[in-house]
């Protein structure tokens, strides 16, 4: 049976890991997969039945043992090398950086003989980061020599091919649009999710989520305060803090706390179903949060960039660029957030401007499995 290994760096938020886990979920139906990362949240978000390996988290390993960056990197590199030798995959998939942070994937990329894929999240947000870091001279050389394809997790109507026109032709030729990567959601799943979370109440349903929650404390605090506004008394409101939330949890061992019409969750494995099923979503501007919310029921979406925009505009650009295809209201200030939502939330449901390809998982699986078959025939 074919095998695929996927690696997600753990020094970022959950976006990169979530994208690769979704592709792993699709691949798991037709081959063996293993997802490797140092993200401590992985056991909480990976679908049941998918094999994973939890690497020592880079920062924890370094700080707890007083290691240097080089020592920490070497330990992780040795573990990764043994993992790939033991698992013996036909294909290896990563994103973030082609050689990994601090080049920790170099041994695998250079030495191990298998098909290699780099998932590019597109220029929707973080265009400068993509151009300067992902396509540095060193990374272009690695992509040219070692990678079979660059899988662009976007739709051509969202990310124009012109964005990458400056790249060398042989690198451009490796880029394949797979569509936006997000779990498919059926009408049956939506109906079941609404039944569970609304408990058969005939109320409108608002979901407030902060993505991974790593830098979302102010946003989550505001969502909780907003939920107490009497103008939302006829709404059922679920607030999800996120796996990496820095907010203190004051409700003991329970993972949820319900007061009147509001339920606060520390984290949720099926958050994508809530995003797709709600009547209104208030979320951070991450790639996954927005795509999941744009699926399913047509709804009002309000989104806030939890990133410090003077340093990183990724979420802000996500909100504005996805907003060209789905009516997303940008929250520009937490101070005015409640009044903004009140003034817009009961408006008529928005018209979807243009459909985006949400079949990134399906397209990625088709490409990778067919490449493996062709490669196997070639090597007979």
Q: What structural domains and CATH numbers belong to the chain?
A: 3-183+359-378 (3.40.50.2000), 187-345 (3.40.50.2000)
Confidence of residue 310 (pLDDT cuts 50, 70, 90): very low
Q: Which residues pair with 152 in a beta bridge?
A: 120, 177
- Please provide the distance, in angstroms rounded to a whole number, between the alpha carbons at the two ends of the chain: 16
DSSP 309: T
Rg (CA), the chain: 21
366: pLDDT strictly greater than 50: yes
* Rounded average pLDDT over 54-76: 93
Residue 361, CA distances (Å) to 160, 175, 366 in order: 20, 16, 9
151 CB-contact burial (10 Å; exposed 0-12 / middle 13-18 / buried 19+)? buried
Of residues 273, 280, 212, 290, the one with CA closest to residue 247: 212
- pLDDT score for 127: 57
pLDDT of residue 133: 79
Question: What is the arithmetic mean of pLDDT over 240-259?
Answer: 91
* Tokens at 344, concatenated: 């817009």
Instruction: Please determine, for residue 126, whether its predicted confidence score (pLDDT) is greater than 60.
Output: no
User: Looking at the predicted structure, is the pLDDT value of residue 375 above 90?
Assistant: no
The pLDDT of residue 125: 44
Angle, helix 337-345 to helix 217-227, in steps of 10 degrees: 50
Give the pLDDT score at 350: 67
More confident residue, 135 or 307: 135
User: For residue 364, which of 150, 164, 122 has the smallest C-alpha distance?
Assistant: 150
Position 354 confidence tier, pLDDT thresholds 50, 70, 90:
confident
309-322 average pLDDT score: 78
Distance CA(320)–CA(310), nearest Å, equals 16
Mean pLDDT of the 248-262 span = 92
The fraction of the chain above a pLDDT of 90, given in percent, is 74
154 HSE (CA, 13 A, CB side): 21
Q: Output the pLDDT for position 131.
A: 67
Average pLDDT over residues 106-124: 89
- At 229, is the secondary structure helix, strand, or coil? coil
Residue 121 vs residues 11, 47, 129, 314: alpha-carbon distances, Å: 17, 21, 11, 11
Per the model's pLDDT, the better-predicted residue between 350 and 190 turns out to be 190
**pLDDT of the residue at 30:** 97
Q: What is the pTM of this model?
A: 0.94
Q: Which residues, in sequence order, are bridge partners of residue 262?
A: 237, 259
Query: Residue 280: is its pLDDT beyond 80?
Result: yes
* Residue 51 and residue 35 in contact, taking contact as beta carbons nearer than 8 Å: yes
């Amino acid at each position: 049976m074919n095998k695929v290994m996927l690696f997600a760096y753990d020094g970022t938020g959950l976006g990169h890991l979530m994208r690769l886990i979704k592709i792993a979920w699709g691949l798991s139906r037709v081959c063996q997969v293993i997802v490797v990362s140092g993200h401590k949240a992985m056991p909480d978000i990976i679908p049941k039945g998918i094999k994973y390996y939890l690497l020592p988290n880079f920062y924890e390993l370094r700080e707890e043992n007083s290691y240097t960056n080089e020592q920490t990197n070497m330990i992780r590199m040795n573990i990764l090398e043994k993992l790939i030798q033991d698992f013996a995959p036909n294909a290896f998939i990563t994103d973030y950086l082609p050689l990994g942070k601090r080049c920790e994937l170099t041994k695998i990329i250079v030495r191990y003989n298998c098909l290699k894929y780099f998932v590019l999240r597109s220029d929707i947000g973080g265009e400068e980061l993509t151009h300067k870091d992902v396509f540095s001279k060193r990374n272009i050389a690695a992509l040219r020599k070692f990678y079979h394809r660059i899988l662009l997790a976007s739709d051509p109507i969202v990310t124009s091919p012109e964005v990458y026109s400056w790249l060398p032709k042989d690198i451009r030729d490796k880029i394949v649009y797979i569509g936006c990567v997000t779990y498919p959601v059926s009408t049956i799943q939506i109906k079941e999710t609404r039944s569970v979370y609304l408990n058969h109440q005939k109320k409108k349903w608002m979901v407030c989520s902060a993505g991974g929650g790593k830098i979302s404390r102010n946003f989550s605090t505001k969502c909780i305060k907003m939920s107490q506004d009497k103008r939302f008394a006829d709404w059922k409101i679920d607030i999800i803090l996120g796996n990496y939330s820095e907010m203190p949890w004051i409700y003991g061992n329970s993972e949820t706390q319900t007061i009147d019409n509001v339920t606060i969750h520390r984290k949720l494995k099926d958050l994508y179903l809530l995003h797709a099923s709600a009547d209104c979503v208030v979320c951070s501007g991450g790639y996954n949060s927005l795509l999941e919310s744009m699926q399913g029921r047509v709804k009002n979406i309000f989104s806030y960039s939890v990133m410090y925009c003077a340093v990183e505009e990724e979420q802000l650009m996500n909100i504005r660029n996805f907003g060209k295809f789905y009516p997303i209201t940008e929250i520009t200030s937490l101070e005015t957030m409640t009044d903004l939502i009140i003034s817009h939330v009961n408006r008529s449901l928005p018209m979807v401007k243009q459909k985006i390809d949400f079949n990134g998982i399906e397209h990625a699986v088709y490409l990778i499995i067919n490449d493996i078959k062709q490669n196997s025939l070639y090597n007979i």
